[in-house]
């Protein structure tokens, strides 16, 4: 099978512009104008029959904070490679086009500013010669880093797809699974910004555990309130019995002509005290219910923040996973559990004090049973603490291992050094960078006896110099260099 690869460059510098083959392909390219995307960078793989030809289009698409030449938002830029076969190494295609965007496009066609990126040309024809060179470079790279088995005939593939496109995380790409999916559905989208399946499953698991903790806390609250109500009902029964006995006694005393006015005053006082106790109990129960409801809302809010953190994840690397954990206010959740259990214990103790202070109440609360209930509630609270705190700590401790797993070939590169010139010189400037890893790690450099300015390091003393790269305060890479005079 004779391979045919072509490059299209298109976007909206000022109205939609297209560079490269036109003819029948124009209808496909024009479909990107006003197209909605759910991530700001992605590689779209789509199979189309246009005329008598069936081709697979690989489109590296950039959108989001992209403005046209006049500063209007809502623009896009894309590099599309048309192949008359299915190229199965989708990750390699993404990396090649991403490198072309960063090295050839940024600085010529586009200008990358702090808050946004905007077009630097009005028409791609203004840089046609550079784009022709870029096409040769891309075709050459694909040929250099591919084997014949990477190219699969498009016979039997679904073309002109109508189904909704599926998003796959770049770091979870599997060539066999993607081939089967594209052959059956005709399209797929690959991006490092799509959430990883492992992270989504972990989030669902922790969400289920926290929901169970909430249910247990609600059960404990209901049980404590019911216990207080039962105690109150028992006290009411005791008062009713005493009232009946007093009534019988009054009947006997009346027969003997004894004045019972003082006893009647006492029973009236007892009834009034009972009424006050009932009113206060209702008031405290309402106040307690409102406070618990407020804290449960705090827990719901924390869960919502966890879900939003997963949805808004930018690059699913190790430091971003740590950022997700930071977004969830775990201390708020723990404080809510503390307060719920404390309020339950305080309510029980207050009722004990009221019942013991009532002079005519002959039934006192069993203090040993109360201590047992309080201890059980505290044990459940500590179990909840360990569950949430353990989860947060596991995320922090696993950061370095997760970086090494995501970027096993990552290393520190010093631009000015080579195998012929392996040593650094004192007071000379050197440019450092991370190779074989994401360019948007947002880490920081660290080196003893050196001055550091951005990605420039200047050694101050001769000897051994250890250069380290840290992400969120965790050292993930190190390199030792000899410094000479």
The tens-digit pLDDT sequence of the chain (485 residues) is: 688 999 999 999 999 999 997 788 898 999 999 898 999 999 999 999 988 889 999 999 999 889 999 999 999 999 999 999 999 999 999 999 999 999 999 999 999 988 899 999 999 999 999 999 999 999 999 988 889 899 999 999 999 998 889 999 999 999 999 999 999 999 999 999 999 876 645 655 666 666 676 777 788 888 888 888 888 787 778 888 888 888 888 787 677 765 567 767 887 888 888 788 888 878 877 886 787 678 668 666 766 765 565 455 433 444 444 444 444 444 545 555 556 656 665 665 555 545 555 544 444 446 576 568 667 766 766 765 666 555 545 554 556 677 888 889 999 999 999 999 999 999 999 999 999 988 778 889 999 889 999 999 999 999 999 999 998 889 999 999 999 99
pLDDT at 193: 93
CA dist list (Å): 389 to 23, 134, 195: 61, 51, 24
412-421 b/e (C-beta count within 10 Å ≥ 16 → b):
bebeeeeeee
pLDDT at 339: 61
pLDDT at 153: 95
pLDDT at 68: 93
- What is the rounded CA–CA span in Å between residue 196 and residue 199? 5
- What is the rounded CA–CA span in Å between residue 94 and residue 87? 11
Q: Strands, E, within 102-232: which ranges?
A: 110-112, 117-119, 151-152, 167-169, 187-191
pLDDT at 201: 58
For tokens 């923040």, the residue is 305
Q: What tokens appear for 483 in the block?
A: 């410094």
- What is the rounded CA–CA span in Å between residue 254 and residue 311? 81
> Is 0.85 topped by the overall pTM?
no
pLDDT at 60: 98
pLDDT at 310: 47
Beta carbons of 118 and 68 less than 8 angstroms apart = yes
pLDDT at 344: 61
Which backbone phi and psi does 328 adopt, to 5 degrees? Answer: -90, 125
Give the list of residues 6+ apart from residue 164 with CB closer than 8 angstroms, or none.
none
Strands 167-169 and 151-152, bridge-based pairing: unpaired
């Amino acid at each position: 099978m004779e391979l045919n690869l072509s490059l299209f460059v298109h976007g909206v510098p000022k109205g939609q512009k297209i560079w490269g083959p036109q003819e029948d392909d124009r209808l496909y390219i024009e479909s990107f104008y006003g197209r909605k995307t759910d991530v700001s960078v992605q590689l779209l793989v789509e199979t189309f029959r246009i005329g008598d030809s069936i081709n697979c289009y690989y489109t590296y698409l950039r959108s989001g904070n992209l403005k046209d030449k006049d500063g209007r938002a809502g623009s896009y830029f894309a590099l599309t490679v048309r192949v008359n076969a299915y190229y199965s190494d989708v990750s390699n295609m993404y990396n090649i086009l991403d490198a072309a965007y960063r090295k050839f496009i940024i600085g010529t066609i586009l200008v990358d500013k702090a808050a946004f990126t905007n077009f630097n040309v009005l028409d791609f024809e203004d840089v046609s010669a550079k784009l022709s060179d870029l096409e040769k470079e891309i075709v050459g790279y694909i040929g250099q880093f591919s084997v014949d088995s990477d190219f699969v005939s498009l016979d039997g593939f679904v073309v002109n797809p109508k189904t909704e496109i599926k998003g796959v995380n770049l770091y979870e790409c599997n060539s066999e699974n993607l081939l089967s999916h594209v052959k059956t559905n005709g399209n797929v989208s690959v991006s490092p910004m799509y959430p990883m399946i492992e992270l989504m499953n972990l989030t669902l698991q922790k969400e289920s555990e926290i929901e169970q903790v909430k249910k247990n806390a609600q059960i404990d609250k209901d049980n404590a309130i019911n216990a207080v109500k039962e105690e109150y009902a028992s006290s009411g029964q005791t008062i009713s019995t005493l009232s009946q006995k007093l009534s019988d006694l009054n009947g006997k005393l009346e027969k003997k002509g004894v004045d019972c006015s003082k006893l009647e005053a006492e029973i009236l006082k007892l009834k009034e005290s009972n009424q006050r106790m009932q009113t206060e109990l209702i008031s405290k129960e309402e106040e307690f219910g409102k406070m618990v409801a407020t804290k449960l809302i705090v827990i719901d809010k924390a869960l919502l923040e966890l879900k939003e953190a997963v949805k808004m994840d930018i690059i699913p690397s190790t430091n971003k996973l740590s950022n997700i954990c930071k977004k969830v206010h775990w201390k708020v959740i723990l404080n809510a559990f503390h307060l719920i259990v404390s309020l339950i214990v305080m309510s029980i103790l207050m009722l004990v004090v009221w019942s013991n202070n009532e002079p005519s109440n002959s039934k006192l609360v069993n203090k040993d049973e109360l201590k047992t209930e309080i201890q059980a509630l505290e044990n459940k609270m500590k179990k909840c603490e360990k569950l949430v705190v353990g989860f947060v700590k596991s995320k922090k401790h696993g950061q370095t291992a997760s970086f090494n797993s995501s970027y096993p070939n990552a290393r520190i590169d010093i631009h000015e050094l080579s195998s012929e010139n392996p040593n650094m010189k004192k007071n000379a400037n050197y440019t450092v960078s991370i190779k074989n890893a994401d360019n948007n790690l947002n880490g920081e450099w660290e080196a003893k006896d050196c001055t550091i300015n951005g990605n420039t390091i200047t050694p101050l003393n001769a000897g051994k110099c250890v250069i380290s790269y840290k992400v969120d305060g965790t050292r993930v890479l190190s390199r030792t260099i000899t410094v000479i005079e």
